[in-house]
Structure formats: structure tokens, C-alpha cells
Amino acid sequence: MLTTKERCNSVSKANKQYKNQMAAAEHKRDVQVRIILTAVLVIFALAVGFFVIQGRDGSADAAAPRSVTDSGAIRAVSPDVELTEGSETPKRVLTIFEDFQCPVCKSFEAAFGGTLDELRTSGVAAIDYHPIAILDRMSSTNYSTRAANASVCVADSSVDTWLTFHSSAYAQQPAEGGEGLSDEALGDIATAAGAPDSVRGCIEDGQHEDWVTSSTQSVLDRDINATPTVLLNGEALDLTTPEALSAAVRAIP
């Protein structure tokens, strides 16, 4: 038979064992909770990374507007354009990379626009325009991107209307360093050029801004980082005078 002291020692030992078991169980639960929380955080981080990458890829894979060619250009061409023999490809293609915020592009349009129109309407050459946005830093509202978006919105309705918008947008080009024209003002230029009123929604919603960003990056990846840049059948062309431009185009047999 146990003495009182022995019974107390036995109870104390049992209590100690119980406390040790509880402490071990608590430690095990803490470890499990930490493992679960770590796993959740890792999964969350991976998910965030996935969506960030998807977001970037989404810009890169932005759906092309219906008005642009496979190369991302707005092509202005006469139905009577001279074609390369045995194909549907124009024999002469002038490619112009431009930014609606670019003052030199405005000067180029003023000096060379008439010659480009003559080459196009006479069927001598097709003109591929690439509206890009490399001068967003020159306005407080990303005007380059917004103007390029507006131009594509207009082109989706009609390339002929786009040509009028193109000239008017340069004629009303805002000074660098300001806010740029508002979306409403761009909508006014678009509708004055002949675009339907529905174009305003496309402009204000920035419907093609992701595509503009993607297209601009594609152009930069080709080491084209200045506007205007003009190519003739894919080869860089030195710009001197409208007459020299016309002669260079017509010299291609």
C-alpha cells in the first residue's frame, strides 16, 4: 500500500508527464500551423507571380485591332497599287514609324504628307503607318499612347477617315511637357474626320492601349527607337526632300 508521500509523488509524476505530453502536442500543432501558413504564403506568392506574368504576357499578346496588318501597320493603299509580279504584295512599300507627340513627325507630315498622298493615290506605293508611343514621358497623361489608341480606333472604322484624322491630329499636336489633348478632344478630331460617334467610347476606354504598348515594344525590339523612321521595302531611307523621297520610290522597277 502506497504511503501518502508516495501517492503525492505518483500524482506529481503523472501531472508532469501530462504537462510534457500537452507541451509536445502544442509544439506539434505549432509546427503544423507554421508549415500550413508557409505553404499558403508560397502558394499565394506563386499565384501573384503567375498573374503578374500573365498580365505582362497579356499586353504582349494584346488582340490586334482589325484595321492593322500582320506586321502591326495601318496600311493606306490604292486599289490600283502596282503589285509584285505573281503576288498580291505591293511592289513598293513605304513604312513609317511615328509618334503623335513627336514634333519632328509633325514637321515630316507637313513637308512630306503631300508626296506620300500622291505616291499612294497614284498606285506607286503602299504606305504602312506604325503609330507607336515612345514619348509618353513628354506629357503628364501618356498622350502618345492615348493618341495612338485614338488613331487605331478611327482606323477600325475606315482607313480613309484615319488619313484625315492623322493630318488633323498633327495639325493640332499639343506642346511637349503639358497634359496633351484630352480624350474628348481626340474624339472631336475623330468625328470631325468622319468617324462615327461610337469611336468616342473606344477612345475614352483606351480600347487599344494594350495593343499600342505591345506594338511599340515590338518596334523597339527591332532597334527602331526614333521617330519618324522611314523604310522603303524594309530598308532605311535617308530623308532629304520630298522630291528625293519620290525619286527613291519610283526608282524601284
Q: If DSSP states are collapsed to H, E and C, what string results for the chain?
A: CCCHHHHHHHHHHHHHHHHHHHHHHHHHHHHHHHHHHHHHHHHHHHHHHHHHHHHHHHHHCCCCCCCECCCCCEEECCCCCCECCCCCCECCEEEEEECCCCHHHHHHHHHHHHHHHHHHHCCCCEEEEEECCCCHHHCCCCHHHHHHHHHHHHHCCCHHHHHHHHHHHHHCCCCCCCCCCCHHHHHHHHHHHCCCCCHHHHHHCCCCHHHHHHHHHHHHCCCCCCCCEEEECCEECCCCCHHHHHHHHHCCC
Q: How far apart are CA 179 and CA 143, in angstroms?
A: 7
Q: 210-235, pLDDT tens digit by residue?
A: 999 999 999 999 999 999 999 999 99
Q: Which residues pair with 230 in a beta bridge?
A: 96
Convert 158-183 into a string of H (helix), E (strand) and C (coil).
Answer: CHHHHHHHHHHHHHCCCCCCCCCCCH
Mean pLDDT taken over the chain: 84
**Residue position matching grid coordinates 506604325:** 130
95 has pLDDT over 90: yes
Taking the model in full, what pTM does it have?
0.76
CATH placement of domain 74-250: 3.40.30.10
Query: Is pLDDT of 39 > 70?
Result: no
- Domain residue extents for the chain: 1-61, 74-250
Residues 98-127: pLDDT tens digits? 999 999 999 999 999 999 999 999 999 999
CA dist., res. 113 & res. 221, Å (int):
27
Cell, residue 129 = 503607318
